[in-house]
Amino acid sequence: KGNVLDTIMPIMDLDLGAMFAAKFARERLSIGGQIKFIRSTILDVSANTAALNIGLISRLGDGFRAGCNIMNLGFPIKYINTRERLPMGFNIGVATKVTREKRLLLALSSSKFIDSPYKIALGSEYRVNKTIDLRIGYQLKLADDNQSFLKHLSSGIGINDRKYSVNAAYIW
């Protein structure tokens, strides 16, 4: 009596997608999208769905870009007998390459998902070489949420060749 046992609830989400893009207006405007498969597992229950992301990027000169996208257009995800809609959202942001060698990119974005408050995030990407990009990001606290610094931190890596890329991220 009186003892509290901590339990760990195994949760895993997988988002696997194929992307496409096309350049227009003398390569200053890009339109792209991602078709993605989503698998979510909570305890021993798994659910699957598919969704679409659509975005637009404008290259405004000297490494400066502005863009927007709509995320998670798709079908609800069904856990046993419960259907949950995906958190559809909108994102707008700007980015610029800040070093002479154009290896460091800094970005600022704002996003709004259904049933969630606005979020503002800062991020950077460092191109180690033609193949590897390292990324780090931080979501600003807009309210006193009493969560740790790491709760808002993310990191990632991109591995690229001329036609394909593989990207992985970890959200702390």
pLDDT single digits (tens) 85-99: 999 999 999 999 988
For 151, the 3-state DSSP assignment is helix
Which amino acid is located at 84 in the chain? E
C-alpha–C-alpha distance, residues 95 and 80, integer Å? 42
Q: Are strands 165-171 and 153-160 parallel, antiparallel or unpaired?
A: antiparallel
With beta carbons less than 8 A apart as the criterion, state whether 45 and 38 touch: no
Share in percent of the chain as helix, strand, coil (round to 5):
0, 65, 30
Q: Who wins on pLDDT, 121 or 102?
A: 121
Give which of 63, 69, 73 is closest to 104, Cα–Cα: 63
- Buried residues in 110-120 as b, exposed as e (16+ CB within 10 A): ebebeeeeebe
Q: Are strands 119-127 and 132-139 parallel, antiparallel or unpaired?
A: antiparallel
As a whole-number percent, the residues of the chain with pLDDT over 70 amount to 88
Q: Copy the structure tokens of residue 40.
A: 């979510």
Q: Copy the structure tokens of residue 138.
A: 């931080």
Q: Who wins on pLDDT, 136 or 172?
A: 136
Query: The whole model's pTM is what?
Result: 0.73
Phi and psi, residue 151, nearest 5°: -60, -25
Average confidence (pLDDT) over 126-135: 95
